[in-house]
Structure 1
Amino acid sequence: MDNPYLVSADRPIASFTRDEAVLASTLAVNEKLAKDLASLSPPASLAEMREAYLNGGLGLPASPKSPRARTMTIDGPGGPIELRVLVPQQVRGVYLHLHGGGWIAGGNDTWDQQFELFGREAGMVAVSPNYRLAPEHPAPAAIDDCVAVACWLVEHAKEEFGTSWLSIGGESAGSNLAALTLLRLRDLGHGSAFRAASLLFGCFDLSLTPSVRLAQGAPFVSLEAMRQFTSAFAGQLDLRDPRISPLYADLQGLPPALFSVGSADPLLDDSLFMHMRWQAAGNISHLAIYPGGIHGFNSFDSELATAGNRGIASFLGSIRDQER
């Protein structure tokens, strides 16, 4: 796996978190974003916030829509689930992507650019569902939907896409859902069905890690915002319940994972802690830290975003190649 931002014995964590490791281009992106966010007025309602999120109106760019994308619908536990599908010219596997948005926003059509990259460089068919959102549908609704899609892929990926090699991933809240989906699949007897997991700046402890509690002025995931997101998703469940906070779960029997996060992301600790717990449970885990990267860094037009997205593609392709 070719990724210069992977933590290793030769490249310890501190080498990626020092100020001098941050690229000038990353600083420029962060400074522009701060100015853009300062000029925005907060949405007046949840509906307006959801619409702005999908259109890139909250400061986080939405990927251009791919003309090659198609949609299909499968049955779900709460009704039909829409899947967005992009199939590359050469198929080597399937990547089940669970979108971010704090469990309360987002959709399956905001990541087409990354899906195209994963298709070109790793041969991954991208499948992304629109799962039910909180607060109208608190946990476990979104998890149930994601598990239903994962089980559908276990049964139908070969006939639909010509491959039974499956991987899973997501960003932010989507990473949380990806980890929870893997745990549920394991407990259902499908522990070996998914062969790799890409967990990008995820929230794995809904009671909030120290880096979230200490962050000040962070875009997209301030302490106040995180408390709103987690409480909406948790519903009546305790924030440290392993059914919604996978950091507290038994993590044995899970596939190789890549944890990717920016050093300026308040959710940095979530990736640090989960990476170590993944390893301690006997699983393979890799950690990539992107100097100066904020929450959502991989969606901006920058050197760091390119490196982050290619790092995920390289990981998925390398795990697939190792099994040939």
Structure 2
Amino acid sequence: MMSKSSPGGSPDDPFRPEAISAETRAVNAALAAKLAAVVPPADVAAMRAAYAAGHLSLPVSPRSPRARTLAIPGPAGDIGLRILAPERPRGAYLHLHGGGWTAGTNDMWDGPLELIGREAGLVAVSVDYRLAPEAPFPAGLDDAFAAAQWLVQRAEAEFGAAWLAIGGESAGAHLAASTLVRMRDAGVGGAYRAANLMYGCYDLSLTPSMRRARDTLILDRARVEALVAGVAGPFDLRDPAISPLYADLSGLPTALFSVGTLDPLIDDSLFMHARWRAAGNAAELAVFPGGVHGFHMLEGQLAQAANAGVARFLDAARGAGGA
């Protein structure tokens, strides 16, 4: 299901309308019907509860009975971690969940994280970072950075494996990329050897595809502008500290950028992939025909292909690192 675009509309061009499978069209239509029936939550608390239950937009992966939780010190109190460990860990994957910086929990993504454990041998360590608007930027990034530092220091003692990767979806991909920049600037950038960056928002001033987004599934321009206003506060939206597309990206690990063609954030992945490579880093780009924002949590072969691709990428990166 992964495609690479080619000039001239050739058969492997994922942006051709006919590249979208009948199954993907049906999955998207079912999602649109579900969203049309959603009653807007009354307040932030109701929105978060609905999102965490899978009633607001994307479905939620079943919670794994194998998960355990851990609390570590953070810059503003304890940070919760959700641990999903395979039988023989060969590394650890620091996961930062999506939710537009304002919603989401670290127990909504167990299925894809357990797949990474089975196929790549990585312990998933998912971070319960602080959310906006109560805790605007850089609170969530501060928590992500603290968790990243903790994993560098404790991975071998806790899990018996020192090889590390980082990643996330949407807002989580934004935080993961920003954490890598901050880790590099702190002199420990080499600790993380791979990044899984799924349909992230890397330019909070909005890329062209997001600026044009009207009535798109899950996200549109108005929704993203409201989310950005809640998290960014007085920050200049093109400050590299908050929009990593504008940061110095040199010295960062190999990365996989995954995005669907119908995601209004597609330019973010296209641009960030190009800048990642231009900075001298290895990077792969996976573009999925008909994928909407959050598509890897939906039913169907497109989601399966995206999740399997992440696991293969991380497994290959770990193997290349000699772990």
TM-score normalised to structure 1 length: 0.97
Quote the residue 1:233 is aligned against: 231
- Structural mapping, 1:38-49, within 5 Å: 38-49=36-47
Please provide the CA RMSD for this pair. Answer: 1.5
Quote the residue 2:188 is aligned against: 190
> Any idea what SS the aligned residue of 1:15 has?
coil
What is the CA distance between 1:90 and its match in structure 2? Answer: 2.3
Quote the residue 2:134 is aligned against: 136
- Alpha-carbon distance in 2 for matches of 1:266, 1:8: 17
- Alpha-carbon distance in 1 for matches of 2:169, 2:252: 18
- 1:28 paired to 2:26: yes
Identity, in percent, stands at 57
Quote the residue 1:159 is aligned against: 157
Q: Deviations over 1:37-71 (max 9, x none)?
A: 11111111111000000000113101100000000
The answer to whether the Cα contact below 8 Å between 1:6 and 1:286 also exists between their aligned partners in 2 is no
What is the CA distance between 1:7 and its match in structure 2? Answer: 2.9
What is the CA distance between 1:233 and its match in structure 2? Answer: 1.1
- 1:101 paired to 2:99: yes
- Alpha-carbon distance in 2 for matches of 1:238, 1:62: 33
Q: Which stretches in structure 2 are left out of the alignment for 5+ residues?
A: none
- 1:309 paired to 2:310: no
> Any idea what SS the aligned residue of 1:185 has?
helix
Q: Which stretches in structure 1 are left out of the alignment for 5+ residues?
A: none
Q: 2:209 aligns with which of 211, 231, 239?
A: 211
Structure 2 counterpart of 1:16, one-letter code: P
> Any idea what SS the aligned residue of 2:104 has?
coil
TM-score normalised to structure 2 length: 0.97
- Alpha-carbon distance in 1 for matches of 2:174, 2:233: 16
The answer to whether the Cα contact below 8 Å between 1:95 and 1:127 also exists between their aligned partners in 2 is yes
Q: Deviations over 1:257-287 (max 9, x none)?
A: 0000000000000000000000000000100
Closer/same/farther in 2, CA of residues 176 and 24 from structure 1, 3 Å limit = same
Q: Which moved more, 1:216-225 or 1:64-73?
A: 216-225
- 1:85 paired to 2:83: yes
The answer to whether the Cα contact below 8 Å between 2:3 and 2:13 also exists between their aligned partners in 1 is no
What is the CA distance between 1:232 and its match in structure 2? Answer: 1.1
The answer to whether the Cα contact below 8 Å between 1:169 and 1:198 also exists between their aligned partners in 2 is yes
Q: Which moved more, 1:102-111 or 1:232-241?
A: 232-241
- Alpha-carbon distance in 2 for matches of 1:281, 1:12: 29
- 1:7 paired to 2:1: no
The answer to whether the Cα contact below 8 Å between 2:250 and 2:281 also exists between their aligned partners in 1 is yes
Report how many aligned residue pairs link the two structures: 321
- Alpha-carbon distance in 2 for matches of 1:282, 1:116: 31
Closer/same/farther in 2, CA of residues 6 and 183 from structure 1, 3 Å limit = farther
> Any idea what SS the aligned residue of 1:76 has?
coil
The answer to whether the Cα contact below 8 Å between 2:210 and 2:221 also exists between their aligned partners in 1 is yes
Quote the residue 1:124 is aligned against: 122
Structure 2 counterpart of 1:120, one-letter code: R
The answer to whether the Cα contact below 8 Å between 2:4 and 2:12 also exists between their aligned partners in 1 is no
Quote the residue 1:296 is aligned against: 294
What is the CA distance between 1:14 and its match in structure 2? Answer: 7.1
> Any idea what SS the aligned residue of 2:14 has?
helix
